Amino acid sequence: MKLAVLASGVGSNLQALLDQVHGRDGIEIAAVASDKPDAAALERARAAGVPVASFPGTDYPDRSARDAAMAGWLAERGVELVVLAGYMQLLSAQFLDRFPLRVINVHPALLPAFPGLDAIRQAVDYGVKVAGVTVHFVDQGVDTGPIILQRAIDISSSASREAVEERLHRLEHELLPRAVRLIAAGAVRLDPEHPRRVMIEDSPSR
Ligand code: GRF
C-alpha cells in the first residue's frame, strides 16, 4: 500500500511512520506534502528519500484549488491512503471525495472530547484525569470522523502540561503506525449497520 503523509510541523509522527512502517509489509510512504514549505517534516522525508512537495495557500486562489493540486500530485504517485500527521489545514470535500474512507488523522485527545486546536491544553486546563489519543477517519467536520483506534492514559499524577504532552506524543507514535498497519492489512472496515462504528479484525502481531 502506498501512502502519503501530510504534515505542517515538526513531523515526529511522520518519523514514527518512516521508522516503523515504511518499507515493511508492503507499505511504502510514497509522498509527503505540506502547506508550509519550511516544515521540518519535509526535511525528515527528504532524509528518507521520500518525494516531497509543498502547497502553500498563498499560491492558490482558494482552498479547493490548493487541494485539487495536492490531490493530483498524490494521485500521480499512486497514493491509496492519506495520513494527516499534524496537518493544520481543513481538507475540501472534493479532496476527501477523491480518497473515500482513505484519509486518517491522529488527534491528541479522546474524541469526541477536545476536538480542534490545542487539544492537550484544553484537556489539561479542564482538569481531566484521563487523557489519550485517537486515530480516526477524516470527514468534513473538525475531528468528527469514525474512530479507528483510541487509547487512554491516567494523567492524575502528571505534574505539568509538558509531561502530559510528552506521554501523549509517545502514545501517538505507537497508535498511528498501528492504524496504518491495520488498514494496509485490510483489517479495518465500517460496520454496515452502524456506519460510524469501525470494526477491526485484530491480531496481536500488528
Ligand atoms: C500531534 O500532536 C498530532 O496529534 C496533532 O499535531 C501534532 C503533530 O506533531 N494533530 P508532529 O508534527 O507529528 O510532531
Percent of the chain with pLDDT over 90: 95
Q: Does the beta carbon of 11 lie inside 6 Å of ligand 1?
A: yes
Q: Which pLDDT value is given to residue 184?
A: 97
**Cα–ligand 1 centroid distance for 16 (angstroms):** 11
How large is the average pLDDT for residues 28-38? 98
Q: Which tops the pLDDT comparison, 45 or 202?
A: 45
Q: Which pLDDT value is given to residue 202?
A: 72
Contact yes or no for 102/77 (Cβ under 8 A): no
pLDDT above 80: residue 206 = no
Of 114, 108, 113, 126, give the one whose Cα is nearest residue 165: 108
Q: Does the beta carbon of 9 lie inside 6 Å of ligand 1?
A: yes
CA angle 151, 23, 135 (to 5 degrees): 20
pLDDT digits (tens, 9 = 90+) for 168-178: 999 999 999 99
pLDDT digits (tens, 9 = 90+) for 81-112: 999 999 999 999 999 999 999 999 999 999 99
107 catalytic? Reply is yes
pLDDT digits (tens, 9 = 90+) for 113-152: 999 999 999 999 999 999 999 999 999 999 999 999 999 9
Q: How confident is the model at residue 158 (pLDDT cuts 50, 70, 90)?
A: confident
Pocket probe mutation, ligand 1, options 36, 103, 169, 171, max atoms within 8 Å of Cβ: 169
3-state helix, strand, coil in the chain (%, to 5): 35, 25, 40
Pocket probe mutation, ligand 1, options 5, 10, 13, max atoms within 8 Å of Cβ: 13
**β pairing state of 52-54 and 28-34:** parallel
Q: Which pLDDT value is given to residue 18?
A: 98
Q: Which pLDDT value is given to residue 73?
A: 98
pLDDT above 70: residue 154 = yes
Q: Which three cell numbers stand for residue 25?
A: 509489509
How large is the average pLDDT for residues 14-28? 98
Q: Which pLDDT value is given to residue 159?
A: 79
Q: Does the beta carbon of 86 lie inside 6 Å of ligand 1?
A: yes
Q: Which pLDDT value is given to residue 67?
A: 98
Q: Give me the residues paired with residue 103 across strands.
A: 82
Q: Which is the catalytic residue, given 22, 107, 136, 173?
A: 107
Taking CA atoms only, the protein residue closest to ligand 1 atom 1 is 86
Q: Does the beta carbon of 15 lie inside 6 Å of ligand 1?
A: no
Residue at grid coordinates 486562489:
61
pTM of the model: 0.96
